[in-house]
Amino acid sequence: MPRDHPIQPMIHATMRGVTRVYQAGKPLHALGPIDLDIARGEFFAVVGPSGCGKSTLLDVLAGLNAPTEGSISFEDKPVAGQVPDGVGVVFQEDASFPWLTVRDNVAFGLRRAGMDAAEIARRVEYAVGFMGLRDFATAYPAQLSGGMRQRVCIARTLVLQPRLILLDEPFGALDQQTRLLMGDELLRLWRETGATVLLITHALDEAAMLSDRVGVMSARPGCFIDLVETHWPRDRDSRIVSDEAFGHVTARLWSTLRGESMKAIGRAS
């Protein structure tokens, strides 16, 4: 799909000294401090133990949650109060609208933006076809499997041509085979759109397979304790799991993460 935005500088999104402390009752330091630069067109994954603040990191970067301290910028503009234009988010939970057909779900954001009907139809047809949903365009989400519903949500994000796509464990509820295939779809989407992707996941193999870089977070309050570069070619797919280097990447991720995961479940490493 042709892109409508001008070329931007290399650094696409930045977080500086970002923390998040929840104040309900006893203050809970959930995140940070986080310092992170994500390059334009990069596929960046975040892994960490349960409850380390991965989703909080995504919410803060998306503008869905305000940081307690620090600053966030996207395309050199501060992120404050609302989701910036050009940012799309896919959540772990089924976020399809059950009262709308697949086609109407995908068109939802475009209609809100007041786009003309012909352009909406063009973009929706492209996205529905791209995500393999053409035969189900008039179906309701209840008639689809969990994986297909997640594809509907991805298509709904895709039609808006986001320049930064944030994915919060989008395949968390799917079986392993479907996750691998969905990973391939995601890589194809990333290559074709040229968007920057930040993926939150608890699956080390998923992070290792999909990403250019993987950020490993500590137990709460979550901070980056390691940044692993994978050096995969851009036209990779799920077959990379049989590559020898894939084992090295996942082994490094786990060796960093194991101690933090032990802490998260209340046991010393």
Partner 1 sequence: MTRAAAVRWTRIALVAGCVLLLEAVCRLHMINPLTLIPPSAMAIAMVRMIASGEMIGDIAHTFSAVAIAAVASVIAGFALGTAIHGVPRVRRAIAPLLASYYAVPVFVFYPLLVALFGLTMLPLIAIAFIAAVPAMVIATLTGLDRVPRVLRKVARVHRMGALRTALLVVLPAALPSLCNGIKLCLAYAFIGVIAGEFILSSGGLGYGIAYAYESFENRPMYGRMLFVLLVAIVVNGLLQVWEVRLNRRRGQA
Which stretches of the chain bind partner 1, using CB under 8 A?
Answer: 62, 64, 82-83, 85, 87-89, 91, 93-95, 97-99, 108-109, 112, 140-143
Contact between residue 235 and residue 51 where contact means Cβ atoms under 8 Å apart: no
Q: Which is nearer to partner 1, 68 or 101 (CB)?
A: 101
Q: Which is nearer to partner 1, 112 or 231 (CB)?
A: 112
Q: Which is nearer to partner 1, 149 or 236 (CB)?
A: 149
Q: Within 13 Å of residue 77, how many CA atoms lie on the same side as its CB?
A: 12
Residues β-bridged to residue 214: 45, 228
CB of 106 to partner 1, least distance (A): 13
CB of 77 to partner 1, least distance (A): 14
Residues β-bridged to residue 39: 11
Q: Which is nearer to partner 1, 170 or 222 (CB)?
A: 170
CB of 64 to partner 1, least distance (A): 6
CB of 208 to partner 1, least distance (A): 27
Q: Which is nearer to partner 1, 37 or 93 (CB)?
A: 93
Contact between residue 79 and residue 72 where contact means Cβ atoms under 8 Å apart: yes
Amino acid identity, residue 110?
Answer: L
Give the integer Cα–Cα distance in Å for 161 and 83. 15
Q: Prior bond to 221 cis, omega within 30? A: yes
CB of 101 to partner 1, least distance (A): 9
Q: Please write down the long-range contacts of 144-149, taking CB distance under 8 Å and 24 or more positions apart.
A: 144/102, 146/94, 146/173, 146/174, 147/171, 147/174, 147/178, 147/182, 149/94, 149/96
Give the integer Cα–Cα distance in Å for 13 and 30. 21
Q: Which is nearer to partner 1, 95 or 189 (CB)?
A: 95
CB of 143 to partner 1, least distance (A): 7
Q: Which is nearer to partner 1, 109 or 259 (CB)?
A: 109
Give the integer Cα–Cα distance in Å for 218 and 211. 19
Q: What is the DSSP letter of 257?
A: H
CB of 141 to partner 1, least distance (A): 8
Handedness of CA 168, 165, 198, 148 (dihedral sign): positive
